[in-house]
Amino acid sequence: MLEPDAARARILAALEDVAPLPPERVSLAEALGRALAEPVLAPRALPPFDSSQMDGYALRAADARAPGARLRVAFEVYAGSVPPPLPEGACCRIFTGAPVPAGADAVEMQEEVARQGAFARFRRAAEPGRFVRPAGSDLALGAVALEAGAAVDAGATGLAAALGRTELAVYRRPRVGLLATGDELVPVDRPPAAGQILDSNSHALAAACREAGAVPLLLPFARDERGSLRRALAAARGLDALVSTGGVSVGEKDLVKEAVEAAGARLDFWKVAMKPGKPVAFGRWGRTAVFGLPGNPASALVTFELFVRPALRRLAGLPGTGRVRLPARLAEPASKPAGLTHFLRARATVRAGQLWVEPLRSQASGHLTSVTGFEALAVLPSAATRLRRGAAVEAILLAPPREP
């Protein structure tokens, strides 16, 4: 059976011809979290002019070579104003961010200057360049400010804005169809009859899609019946990805695999050597990536995390999984049969510089209370059977560890 890491590698390789999706120009606000499709170049230098780093006095350093120099204060220059050239032998009052006047080559902070009426006395010797931010010292005209492929964060937004950009070219967000399957399902806004349950997977996976930078679309449910599945799949045509839940196991009514193949999808695999989520299918349907996830809520979320999320990021041009995988220690003993890699939902804590993972009490894949309240997936290797407390494992961090 396919190992989880190999399955993810196969998925990413299979998306090579469609990822990243085409770029689009969007507002700075819309670009947050997305990958730049082109580098951002500097159409102006930063800072654009020599400016003061301090509130103080601008002068020619040569006029205050020794402590105690006394210079006439010729004028004041505020941020946003344009000063005249500095007269010979004079200094000027200056404030942070204000242009340094022509002629001046240094600024002294006001704490080092005694004001005496129209004069200023410099307590220490001036140094050329001190407290002056030279034009272009942050970024030269024409330089690459942001590399193509970089994810836009708050800082990148600020840098782009400082360069006068109101829009950025980023890769399109993947549009993901979510298809819940099962005769027992009822939409969350309807009362369930006997034997029915509310469809929670669509909502959990929609949230997981948004978290991964994708746009989810809830498709009409499919019944456990060939015709219903066929009609539901038709609604997903042309999307970047289709994620179904339920119906991929070996039960008599598990028809998803058959239905997507009948619709013309090519399945690459439908089983991975892991728990939860052994039945999980992946394939391509034209340009659409197709994922068949199990119906149990925890299995659906864990398989989404391990397989769908990296695929969506690849489609969006974002690097890697966006998660760190770190060595950790197991806070509780664990045992399992050999043969499958187990991914346990676990609390993560750092104690004395060591990452600890404590698996949640319930790992039942059908329980809804244990699909929240954890920061990590503890990875128990396929061959492992008994792991003592303190055993070295890997942890996939989904959120920052807790404060101890």
Classify residue 80 as left (phi > 0), alpha (psi -120 to 50) or beta.
Answer: left
Using CB under 5 A, list all residues that contact Mg ion.
Answer: 182, 246-247, 295
Residue 360 CB, shortest distance to ligand AMP, in Å, is 18
Q: Choose from Mg ion, ligand AMP, none: what does 296 bind? Cβ within 5-8 Å by kind.
A: ligand AMP
**Which tokens hold the place of 325?**
């995988």
Q: Which of 43, 366, 388, 402 binds ligand AMP (CB under 6 A)?
A: 366
Q: Which of 182, 213, 283, 359 binds ligand AMP (CB under 6 A)?
A: 182
Alpha-carbon separation of residue 95 from 44, 64, 298 (angstroms): 23, 20, 58
Residue 189 CB, shortest distance to ligand AMP, in Å, is 14
Alpha-carbon separation of residue 317 from 198, 213, 232, 325 (angstroms): 34, 10, 28, 21
3-class secondary structure, 98 = coil
Residue 249 CB, shortest distance to ligand AMP, in Å, is 5
Indicate whether 382 belongs to the interface with ligand AMP (CB under 6 A): no
Residue 136 CB, shortest distance to ligand AMP, in Å, is 57
Residue 306 CB, shortest distance to ligand AMP, in Å, is 17
| DSSP result, 294-314 | -SSHHHHHHHIIIIIHHHHHH
Residue 373 CB, shortest distance to Mg ion, in Å, is 26
Indicate whether 401 belongs to the interface with ligand AMP (CB under 6 A): no
Dmax over Cα atoms in the chain, in whole Å? 95
| Phi, then psi, of 175 in degrees rounded to 5 | -100, 120
Number of residues that bind ligand AMP (CB under 6 A): 19
Task: Give the CB-nearest residue to ligand AMP.
Answer: 295
What mask, x for binding ligand AMP by CB under 6 A, covers residues 201 to 240? xx--------------------------------------
Closer Cβ to Mg ion, 164 or 195, answer by number: 195
Indicate whether 346 belongs to the interface with ligand AMP (CB under 6 A): no
Are the beta carbons of 85 and 129 closer than 8 angstroms? no
Q: Choose from ligand AMP, Mg ion, none: what does 245 bind? Cβ within 5-8 Å by kind.
A: ligand AMP
Residue 378 CB, shortest distance to ligand AMP, in Å, is 23
Rounded distance between C-alpha atoms, residue 32 and residue 101, angstroms:
38
Binding piece for ligand AMP, criterion CB under 6 A, among 1-9, 245-253, 315-323, 346-354: 245-253
Q: How many CB atoms lie within 10 A of CB 284?
A: 17
Residue 358 CB, shortest distance to ligand AMP, in Å, is 26
Closer Cβ to ligand AMP, 245 or 382, answer by number: 245
| In the block, residue with structure tokens 């000063």 | 83
Are the beta carbons of 63 and 71 closer than 8 angstroms? yes
Residue 17 CB, shortest distance to ligand AMP, in Å, is 30
Closer Cβ to Mg ion, 131 or 291, answer by number: 291
Rounded distance between C-alpha atoms, residue 347 and residue 331, angstroms:
9
For 95-112, letters b (16+ CB in 10 Å) and e give: bbebbbbebbbbbbebee
Rounded distance between C-alpha atoms, residue 200 and residue 213, angstroms:
20
Pairing state between β 241-245 and 175-180: parallel
Angle at CA 9, nearest 5°, toward 240 and 293?
55
Rounded distance between C-alpha atoms, residue 393 and residue 342, angstroms:
11
Closer Cβ to Mg ion, 202 or 349, answer by number: 202
Closer Cβ to ligand AMP, 101 or 294, answer by number: 294
Rounded distance between C-alpha atoms, residue 368 and residue 389, angstroms:
27
Q: Choose from ligand AMP, Mg ion, none: what does 185 bind? Cβ within 5-8 Å by kind.
A: ligand AMP
Q: Choose from ligand AMP, Mg ion, none: what does 106 bind? Cβ within 5-8 Å by kind.
A: none
Closer Cβ to ligand AMP, 41 or 368, answer by number: 368
For 195-209, letters b (16+ CB in 10 Å) and e give: eeebbbbbbbbbebb
Sites for ligand AMP among residues 272-311 (CB under 6 A): 294-297
**Residues that bind ligand AMP in the complex, under the rule CB under 6 A:** 180, 182, 184-185, 197, 199-202, 245-247, 249, 251, 294-297, 366
